[in-house]
Amino acid sequence: MRAVLVVNPEATSTSAAGRDVLAHALASEVKLDLVETRYRGHAADTAARATLDGAELIVVHGGDGTVNEVVNGMLRTEPATVAERPCLAVIPGGLANVFAGALGVPRDPLEATHGLLRALDEQRGRWIGLGRADDRWFTFNAGVGIDADVVAEVERLRGKGRRVTPWLYTGAATRCYLNGVRHKPLLTVQADDEPPVTALHAAMISNADPWTYLGRRPVHTNPETSFETGIGVFALGSMLPHSVLRHVVQMLSDRAKPHGKTLFRRANISRLRVTCERPLRVQVDGDSLGELSVIDFESVPKALYVVG
């Protein structure tokens, strides 16, 4: 089996020693090429080239952003048949590792590597569905409004040399909420063929559960959503403190099923259109896409084969 190992050396939890152990373990089972990313988009370019060159497996050792790049690189090429597209495997190396967690991959890279080797030996894997925001694929979540503002703020702070931690995200989320609490609602969403719902402040779209993590604590917006179903939407109609706090508590509950009069929530839908009165920030898998006015989200079943 021909495999490519894509490593992001700048990811939060990666190290040269961990990379070497992982590469050595994989090389004992497959014909392996190792690529360390050097620039934004390098992982996507590597995955696209590996797909065209006939690689059978792409292993990502990095965070969710690196995984997203690899997935988009794999899917921007068109092999003769879907079966000729490489399989994907993930060894966690970032801060949250939401995609890996949703797949059931252990957080510890060494344990995850042993699990991957067993899965390869047993030829074990599954097809998963993905989400798409216009022409950009996402694996676990996307968002319009406050969560995209948080992503942009964290990217800004990281560019200034700040270390990415759960507290950095919490601080950024608090500031973004305080900046936006008095703004009027600007969003309209339409799920499948339902009537449009207006006067919404933010829309969070999920392709899996949990939506993300707060430290080690899972955050659930649409617990019914999985890689085998459609996408889910969680849209806030109120930014008042008591309403937001109630939903935060619901999302952090182990038996989460968020609800409320000002909350629009749907699970397992095929399409979602989000329209903004003025351009608002959009994010996919924690990567900022800039500001957009209209975004079409869709669920694509059985888009990718994942080993594990």
* 254-306 confidence digits (pLDDT tens): 877 899 999 999 999 999 999 999 999 999 999 999 999 999 999 999 999 99
> How does pLDDT run across 208-252, given as a tens digit for each residue?
999 998 888 899 999 999 999 999 999 999 999 999 999 999 999
Given 123, 146, 172, the domain boundary residue is: 123
Residue 81 has pLDDT above 80, yes or no: no
Provide the angle, in degrees to the nearest 10, between the axes of the packed helices 64-75 and 42-52: 40
Percent of the chain with pLDDT over 70: 98
Amino acid present at 211: W
Is this prediction's pTM over 0.85?
yes
Owner of token pair 């590996």: 50
Three state DSSP letters for 119-163: HHHHCCEEEEEEEEECCEEECCEEEECHHHHHHHHHHHHHHCCCC
End-to-end CA distance of the chain: 16
- CATH number of 79's domain: 3.40.50.10330
Q: What percent of the chain has pLDDT over 90?
A: 76
DSSP, collapsed to helix, strand or coil, labels residue 255 as coil
Closest Cα to residue 205, out of 226, 229, 234, 185?
234
Which residue's entry shows tokens 């898998």?
285
Q: How confident is the model at residue 79 (pLDDT cuts 50, 70, 90)?
A: low
Question: Which residues sit opposite 213 in a β-bridge?
Answer: 218
Residue 216 · residue 165 · CB < 8 Å: no
Whether 119 has a pLDDT exceeding 70, the answer reads yes
Residues 182-207: tens digit of each pLDDT? 789 999 999 999 999 999 999 999 99
The whole-number pLDDT of residue 292 equals 97
User: What is the pLDDT, as a whole number, of residue 192?
Assistant: 97
Give the per-residue pLDDT at 60.
Answer: 97
Say if residue 25's pLDDT is above 60: yes
| 208 and 77 in a common domain | no
Per-residue pLDDT, 85: 87
Q: Are residues 116 and 148 in the same domain?
A: no
Do residues 227 and 234 touch, judged by C-beta distance below 8 A? no
Identify whether 133 is part of a domain: no
Q: Which pLDDT score is estimated for 80?
A: 46
How far are the Cα atoms of 168, 171, 250 from residue 180, in angstroms, in the given order? 18, 14, 21
Q: Give the pair of three-digit tokens for residue 171.
A: 């601080």
Element (DSSP H or E) covering residue 24: helix 16-27
| Model pLDDT, residue 71 | 97
Question: How many folded domains does the chain comprise?
Answer: 2
Buried b (16+ CB within 10 A) or exposed e, 246-260: bbeebbeeeebebee
Residue 235 included in any domain: yes
In whole angstroms, what is the distance from residue 245 CA to residue 261 CA? 14
Residue 83 has pLDDT above 70, yes or no: no
Q: Which domain holds residue 111?
A: 2-123
Same domain membership, residue 146 and residue 119: no
Q: Could you tell me if residue 305 is inside a domain?
A: no
Asked whether the bond before 196 is cis by omega within 30 degrees of 0, the reply is: no
> According to the model, what pLDDT value does residue 165 have?
79
Tell me if 295 is assigned to some domain: yes
